[in-house]
Amino acid sequence: DLTPHGKKRRVYTQRDPLLGVISAITPFNHPMNQVAHKIVPSVATNNRIVVKPSEKVPLSCYLFADILYEAGLPPQMLQVITGDPKEIADELITNPAIDLITFTGGVSIGKSIAARMGYRRAVLELGGNDPIIVMEDADLDEASTLAVSGSYRNSGQRCTAIKRMLVHESVADRFTGLVVEKTRAWSYGNPADPSVDMGTVIDEAAAKFCEQQVNDAIARGARLLVGNVRDGALYSPTVIDRVTPDMPLVKYETFGPVSPIMRF
């Protein structure tokens, strides 16, 4: 558009529906939301889709599929398959009938899919290590409220959860005090109890991993301010200060209700 030799040329883009078979693999942390995000666009664009929900939370996907069948969706347009990912994932990724693979989950699995899928389309929505950055002129009350909510909603098991708090040294003490105060007020317990703010993580192994990461940071010099209490799969909202970038707690995605404060 900007060069003289392009003036007489016309360029346009045309989007065509896939009209094929989609393989969808969804995570545990939003069992209905993520399934709907895969199925609805497929149905709307007249594709066929095979969904493998997380083996930890398959029932929501079954329920959603049954609702669609009741509404008149032909079963040929939607099938749900469950089982051990080690046994069935390879078929969902490499079967020549698959035209597009859509996956939401961890980075390592996303990389593995990309390496094995061959020449076909893919949508990979992977994890992250999201920070909140608090500068010296920030509204600390608002920032601390957002930080706590962002760390603990859904027990911190969201790819968009706040996983690192980068705080300017000049306001770090005040900000940290507010985060601790609001964390103590954040109730947690039985996820079936509507009066609590936060329930368990997905399983005991996930809770143990959070505990392990926090204990490792403490051993490396970080300071625990509140939390780090585990009872089975229930892990308390946790605030840990003086965390440094080399600590695995913040170097990698912990995926739990932990507020690591990093001063700069």
Residues 125, 142, 211, 253: which is the catalytic one?
Answer: 125
Instruction: Render 118-158 in DSSP notation, one character per residue.
Output: -SSEEEEE-----EEEE-TTS-HHHHHHHHHHHHHGGGG-S
Residue 194, judged by CB atoms within 10 A of its CB (0-12, 13-18, 19+), counts as exposed
| Cα gap 195→17, rounded to integer Å | 45
Establish whether 125 is a catalytic residue: yes
Which residues are within 8 A (CB) of 147 and not within 5 positions of it... i.e. 6 or more apart?
Answer: 132, 134, 162, 165, 175, 179, 259
Helices (H) and strands (E) counted in the chain, each on its own, are 8, 12
The residues that are catalytic are: 125
